[in-house]
A and B are shown apart, each in its own frame.
Chain A
């Protein structure tokens, strides 16, 4: 766009220049013509003169070179005619001739005009163009200034930027401005009015209000008790569920898994009945998931655990069993593969497969009679199954409690396996059908399989997982539905009451409480001061004494340290316990004497003062003495540099700030800097601050959760920029900020905020326009 505009402007400019050039050219050409004519004439005359030189004064026909009134028919000029020229003739054309006037005018005009300047050279023109272009783009870009300012000052920016939605009006405002118009709405309103439903106040109908009023305290209490009970029951149930979730027993989980598998099968069957196509798909998915599992080395007894077990297997029966289990699992999976292949190869039938299976089972059973073979559980004969199922109920109490299959529980032993067997057959037949259909399809599908088998596999894994999850969730739902009918039955009633019971006027309560407290406190305040004041008055006299020396201290230091320590302090007189004899004055005096005697040797105060003096001396900055003995005077043993010289070369250390303990006689405060702590302090002022006080003020409030409420903590630690994961952050566009896109908006923006154009810009604009 800008390029276009630029081109346009350039064009305009060049046109202007051409226009300016035009008159100049015209004038130039005219003057040249005149010059040429003169020259020719002269040249002609010269030629004539030369030709006349050779003596033969030949008469030559005069050539007519200018217009004359008399034109002879012989083409003879007036020159040779010998007529005399009269002045009047000369003056005649000067008079007024219309044709010359115009020329004159033109001439005068040309003369009056100054000479037009030369066109600017290329560089300058380019510079001007650049300037103009810059101004224009600067104007265009200036529309972003407020946006940038806003973003810089914003406490938090959330990317990707979302357009600000218009503020949502509160529902009540919307409702008040709204009226039923359509017949449907009117009908609904009629209904509502008929039942005296609250239209505006969505809280309580009159009926409800009445019922509420009618409810007595006892009733309310009962309701509440019921509610509480229900809630308690629910919480118990939840706790139980949570506990069960945490159970680590392998056996329990095995049983659970089995139950889940059964459930899955059942559901699958149902699905098959309802929607065979979907069932087929699901089946395929399951099958593929199986395949995936088979590909892994999970049950190949090659892991760390398996190896360790293999070492132990010689001696440990359990280890052997575990190994066996693993192997059997593996076998089960591999067996599946065989089955699949068989079904592919020989479409014969299920009997064969079963025949194939049975001996295996037998073998297995013979091989390890210790326990039931897990992979055979599905297809083994009824007696083994029964044995398994009979074992189950003993371990299943929890399972039953969980309510996975309560209804099944009664008719379980026989019916279950029948279902299972049927299931198996059906599945097989289904698969066959599916495969047939697959065969019918061209090899394209296979190609895709080959090429993107990896992708498919991964997809399948996901799908299978989803499937499993679905099953689980469905199961959980079912179980929860199964076991909480009690709770649910009771719930509807609570739902009506709960809000009322919960929505106790808390705020009022607290405020009232506060007010009450305030009242009480008023009373207390009235009551309290008296005893306190009395106490203070009684205490005042002794209190004054220890205070007095403190005041003095500020003025004269060090002197009354003695005072400070030896001030007579009041002794405790009112000890309630009778064993403590109250000291009488003389006893006290005795004691003090004793103490004095005991500590006669060590004058604590003098020692302390000495220590303090030393500390003060040590902390003072030292003067530097640069005198060199022997320079500029006599040197030698026993000679000391003169005082004058010493004074001259002594560099006095600057006096430091006054000591903190200057006025505190009984204290020595260490003035040394704690370097280790200083290492943790800020030592460089950040940008906008010029004085450390300013910066300190901004870091004085702690932001940790230890010192703040949770809300405040979160507010103080909100990140400056928040990005949504997985979203592309596009550069900001005009539409995002509420501007119309397109070139026109630029102008409008500029007009809208003319202040944005700085004075410099204005100057440039003016300049460019002048140019």
Chain B
């Protein structure tokens, strides 16, 4: 039998000893330093799946000179509380050194909590309270479970960090390519397609496929990781924009006159004539909506699952050529020539909101994946980042020498701007912070002016379409390292894709649910609730939920005279009235106090003031 471990004491394994000694297999509860591979190796083993650009810890110093890549700081870990070891003693004498369920860090749990406890509820009955308690307990349990499963997100985002004082923007692509492993280096490539003009490009949702269309009709789709070409055609018409639909099997191409849909073999499936002169395309994956902005000023929503046009909205702002979607709530952002950005939903004929962003026309709009920040650039050569959480105020502003013609956010919040033939990338401090526009994170120069930009999902790759073709850049830390295998799996097989397609279709969100706050569905429709109540009162002639008026109870014989009853009634009424008065008085006091606080108390007027001339 093994000796019981001392609680709280944890001897870190000695490396040299471990390597020289024979390996000994042990139970997990055995006390001495455990020579597992993970414990002994200098760091946890990284299994590179080839999909994530994470430059390894360089062993050779000369690479380290250029860029030091460090690990992401981790959430502070909670200390495990030790219970009385005697109570846990089992029959075998061995004891579990980690009794009970594994602890969960509070911050992580907090992240998954969804009930807003800041709002104080009105007094509730016992039955209601029990229901509320059940709901809260459920929430806590599920969030703890979610926090536990956080452990499975093993991958960490890539990182690029200059030596002290070194500007990361000066690190060029060649340096990065040199530093990273071969598989990641292969993700940097250029396609020289000078013949067919500036290119627009789009990555599929899984980040595995890339489609691009040239102004002069060249349309191609390829599995860009393996560089396997799926199809390549020339539509013999100007291509304005190109976009994958829900999967890589369907491809929407906005051509000069109409919108066309091709499959991955390059076969034209549909020609949608109701969407004409389309300039920009956006696909809302959860609603299966293809949003098209046209030269005629219409924003059209096409439901690709049933092939119906859900809504055609007239923006009344002339030609529409700037469009982006908010991935958080599926609201479409349109940029207009009068410097405003309007937010649209198919359920409303008018824009949900209009924001005046620039003095000149808006050239580009991009919204980050959390729906918190919007970046806009205008003809006034300014680049602004707006807060979309209710205030719509610019957080930071920057004037760029030539102004940015294209903007894009990455999954982890990096902002890229294409200015002429230069691409600038800005990074934020953390994940939830907006990109700071002080210092660019990376810059790159291309062979021609930029025409299309998109970060590849789940990859540290930025795709740039320009007049000279397509460039795939390496941008460490751009992509989300952990993908949801059931939702968008880059490695999925055909069967899995089909399965996913069916499920996604079953879970399609109705188009009319698009609104600024996606959680509005979890709220009660108060207006119709109140109206219903009013109607009920009208119908019945009384309020069934009103508090019954106080009815004094009959007392002992002789004491229950009518006069006394009335007296008691009046007493209660007076008490209630007094309460009301007290409350209103308090409110008044509060108000006055606030006003008094707000007002700067100047010097008291003195009697001599009257003599002042």
Contacts and interface: CB of A to CB of B under 8 A. Distances in A.
Contacts of A543: 396
Nearest to B423: A577
A681 B347 contact: no
A668 B92 contact: no
B542 interface: no
A684 B13 CA distance: 62
Contact of A701 (B135, B352, B440): B135
A702 B44 CA distance: 35
A608 interface: yes
A540 B13 CA distance: 45
Contacts of B510: 680
Contact of A599 (B22, B350, B357, B360): B360
Nearest to B140: A701
Contact of B128 (A213, A518, A681, A689): A689
A517 B74 contact: yes
A591 interface: yes
B424 A575 contact: yes
Contact of A668 (B338, B354, B424): B354
Nearest to B37: A509
A518 B348 contact: no
Interface string B528-553: 11001000000000000100000000
Interface stretch (B119-127, B221-229, B319-327): B119-127
A524 to B, nearest CB: 5
Interface string A752-769: 000000000000000000
Given A539-B436, A580-B402, A677-B520, 14 more contacts: A172-B91, A201-B94, A220-B23, A518-B77, A546-B396, A602-B338, A666-B357, A677-B514, A678-B527, A690-B122, A692-B523, A696-B524, A700-B115, A716-B142
A685 B524 contact: yes
A695 B512 CA distance: 23
Given A217-B23, A681-B521, A667 B353 contact: yes
29 contacts: A176-B91, A201-B1, A202-B92, A215-B25, A505-B28, A509-B38, A516-B43, A521-B71, A525-B73, A539-B436, A546-B397, A569-B382, A572-B437, A576-B170, A576-B440, A580-B419, A595-B359, A664-B391, A677-B521, A678-B527, A680-B510, A680-B521, A681-B523, A697-B116, A697-B121, A699-B522, A702-B114, A708-B146, A712-B141
B91 A595 contact: no
Main secondary structure of the interface of B (DSSP, over half): loop
Given A579-B422, A595-B359, A694-B121, A572 B142 contact: no
Nearest to B395: A546
A508 B524 contact: no
B573 interface: no
A507, A520, A701 — most chain B CB neighbours (10 Å) = A701
A599 B422 CA distance: 26
Contacts of A716: 138, 142
Contacts of B115: 697, 700-701
B356 to A, nearest CB: 4
A354 to B, nearest CB: 55
Interface string A493-522: 000000010011111111111111110110
Interface in B342-371: 345, 347-348, 350-360
Nearest to A591: B381
A531 B360 CA distance: 37
Nearest to A678: B525
A308 B360 CA distance: 75
B395 A701 contact: no
B359 A579 contact: no
Given A579-B422, A701-B115, A546 B352 contact: no
B93 interface: yes
Contact of A507 (B12, B98, B136, B397): B98
Given A203-B92, A670-B352, A680-B521, A570 B424 contact: no
Contact of B145 (A511, A581, A709): A709
A504 B36 contact: yes
A624 interface: no
A712 B137 CA distance: 12
Contacts of A685: 524, 529
A407 interface: no
Interface string B407-436: 000000000000101101000010000001
A250 interface: no
Contact of A512 (B38, B94, B437): B38
> What's the interface size class on B, roughly?
35 or more
A509, A538, A572, A673 — most chain B CB neighbours (10 Å) = A572
Given A708-B146, A715-B141, A588 B399 contact: yes
Given A503-B27, A515-B10, A708-B142, A672 B513 contact: no
A91 B551 CA distance: 74
The 10 closest A-B pairs by CB, nearest first: A505-B28, A676-B512, A201-B92, A569-B397, A172-B91, A681-B525, A692-B524, A576-B169, A571-B399, A698-B135
B28 A692 contact: no
Interface in A580-605: 580-583, 588, 591, 595, 598-599, 602, 604-605
Contacts, number: 328
> What's the interface size class on A, roughly?
35 or more
A295 to B, nearest CB: 42
Interface in B85-129: 90-94, 98, 102, 114-116, 119, 121-122, 124-125, 127-128
Contacts of B397: 546, 567, 569-570
B515 A677 contact: yes
A595 B142 contact: no
A681 to B, nearest CB: 4
A3 to B, nearest CB: 39
A709 B146 contact: yes
A674 interface: yes
Contacts of A538: 438
A643 B382 CA distance: 53
A583 B399 CA distance: 10
B36 A201 contact: no
A728 interface: no
A697 B445 CA distance: 52
B181 interface: no
Interface in A545-590: 546, 550, 553, 561, 564-567, 569-572, 574-577, 579-583, 588
A607 interface: yes
B34, B429, B523 — most chain A CB neighbours (10 Å) = B523
Contact of A700 (B164, B514, B522): B522
A691 B121 contact: yes
A576 B169 CA distance: 6
Given A577-B443, A688-B128, A528 B401 contact: no
Contacts of B39: 508-509, 512-513, 516
Contacts of B356: 561, 565, 604-605, 608, 666-667
A510 B44 CA distance: 9
Contacts of B528: 678, 683
Contacts of B527: 673, 678
B398 A571 contact: yes
A682 interface: yes
Nearest to A176: B91
Contact of B513 (A516, A528, A539, A680): A680
Contacts of B529: 683-685, 692
Interface string B133-165: 011101101100110110100000000000010
A296 interface: no
A442 interface: no
B295 interface: no
Contacts of A4: none
Contacts of B399: 569-572, 588
A693 interface: yes
A245 to B, nearest CB: 18
Contacts of A668: 353-354
A695 B145 contact: no
Contacts of B380: 595, 599
